[in-house]
């Protein structure tokens, strides 16, 4: 192939390289766009995963609080049941004592009791009279103790009923707290599920974008391969052209030197003065002015 044809082919190949470079850049840009979109989706997925973990921890903590509050509510109920049972037992005791309650009122019995005690302490009595009065005082004391016991039991029942009301309030608060906490846990769970589904959608989209990225990268491969092949051929042709130009240059320089040598020989014959270049060329040939 002649040098001109090689130069022409190089020009044609360089035009093709330009088109391939443009095509390769377009495919690289396309792949980069797919990769950027994919990375943005992956970043969103990463953020969602952090939110999901936070919601999961929140839900688990709320569920723990629900369990603890439920235990407190159940414990309070057991305390209520226990005190109600105590109230019932006291009621039964009062009922039994009520059947033994004297027909006369407590005030009358107490008045008589105090009167007899005073009489025993202040009035001279015979042994028999004192014995009879003491026996009567004991009977009154027994009757008054029934009233006293009933009063103590009623007081205890009143205290227990107050405790039960307080415990009922406490249990109601536990129940309200439990319901509120359970609702918050459910809301956190639903939000977590919602974000999990969103993350799944984004993952599917990210996977599709990655496939598009791989497809664009794969389509770039034959273009790159062809580009390198043509580039190698251009380099080869340029080297060949360069070698030919060097050969032509050497050939031209040889002809010029031959012409200068011829001219120098003629000058010598005519006895004319030589230039430095002419002298150098003849010197290399071993020709001197004496020759």
| Contact indicator for 58, 192 with CB cutoff of 8 Å | no
Mean pLDDT of all residues belonging to the chain = 87
Render 131-147 in DSSP notation, one character per residue.
Answer: HHHHHHHHHHHHHHHHH
Share of the chain above pLDDT 70, in %: 97
The pLDDT value given to residue 141: 85
- CATH numbers and ranges of domains, the chain: 31-218 (1.10.287)
How does pLDDT run across 189-224, given as a tens digit for each residue?
999 999 999 999 999 999 999 999 899 888 888 888
Give kind and range of the element (H or E) at residue 270. helix 127-270
Pick the more confident residue, 14 or 41. Answer: 41
Backbone angles phi, psi at 105, to 5 degrees: -70, 165
Identify the CA nearest to 233 among candidates 47, 65, 64, 11: 11
- 52 vs 281: CA distance, rounded Å: 91
Q: Which residues have C-beta within 8 Å of that of residue 162, sequence separation ≥ 6?
A: none
- 139 vs 276: CA distance, rounded Å: 167
| Contact indicator for 207, 41 with CB cutoff of 8 Å | no
Distances (CA, A) of 47 to 44, 59, 90, 194, 195: 5, 18, 64, 14, 10
- 138 vs 145: CA distance, rounded Å: 10
| Contact indicator for 141, 117 with CB cutoff of 8 Å | no
Residue 171 has pLDDT above 90, yes or no: yes
pTM of the model: 0.60
* Exposed e or buried b per residue across 161-183, where buried means at least 16 C-beta atoms within 10 angstroms of its C-beta: eeebeebeebbeebbebbeebbe
- 164 vs 171: CA distance, rounded Å: 10
How does pLDDT run across 129-155, given as a tens digit for each residue?
878 888 888 888 888 888 889 999 999
């Amino acid at each position: 192939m002649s040098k001109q044809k090689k130069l022409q082919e190089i020009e044609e190949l360089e035009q093709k390289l330009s088109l391939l470079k443009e095509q390769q850049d377009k495919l690289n840009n396309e792949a980069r766009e797919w990769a950027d979109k994919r990375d943005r989706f992956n970043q969103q997925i990463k953020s969602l995963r952090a939110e999901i973990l936070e919601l999961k921890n929140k839900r688990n903590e709320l569920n723990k609080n629900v369990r603890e509050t439920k235990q407190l509510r159940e414990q309070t109920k057991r305390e209520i049941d226990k005190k109600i049972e105590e109230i019932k037992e006291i009621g039964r005791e009062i009922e039994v004592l009520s059947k033994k309650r004297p027909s006369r009122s407590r005030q009358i019995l107490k008045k008589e009791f105090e009167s007899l005690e005073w009489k025993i302490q202040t009035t001279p009595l015979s042994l028999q009279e004192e014995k009879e009065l003491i026996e009567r005082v004991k009977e009154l004391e027994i009757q008054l103790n029934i009233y006293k016991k009933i009063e103590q039991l009623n007081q205890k029942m009143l205290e227990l009923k107050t405790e039960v009301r307080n415990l009922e309030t406490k249990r109601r608060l536990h129940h309200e707290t439990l319901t509120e906490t359970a609702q918050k846990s459910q809301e956190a769970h639903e939000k977590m599920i919602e974000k999990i589904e969103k993350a799944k959608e984004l993952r599917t989209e990210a996977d599709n974008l990655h496939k598009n990225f791989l497809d664009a990268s794969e389509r770039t491969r034959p273009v790159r391969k062809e580009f390198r092949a043509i580039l190698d051929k251009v380099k080869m042709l340029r080297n060949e052209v360069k070698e030919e130009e060097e050969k032509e240059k050497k050939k031209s320089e040889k002809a010029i030197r031959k012409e200068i040598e011829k001219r120098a020989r003629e000058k010598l014959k005519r006895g004319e003065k030589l230039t430095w270049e002419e002298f150098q060329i003849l010197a290399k040939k071993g020709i001197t002015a004496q020759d």
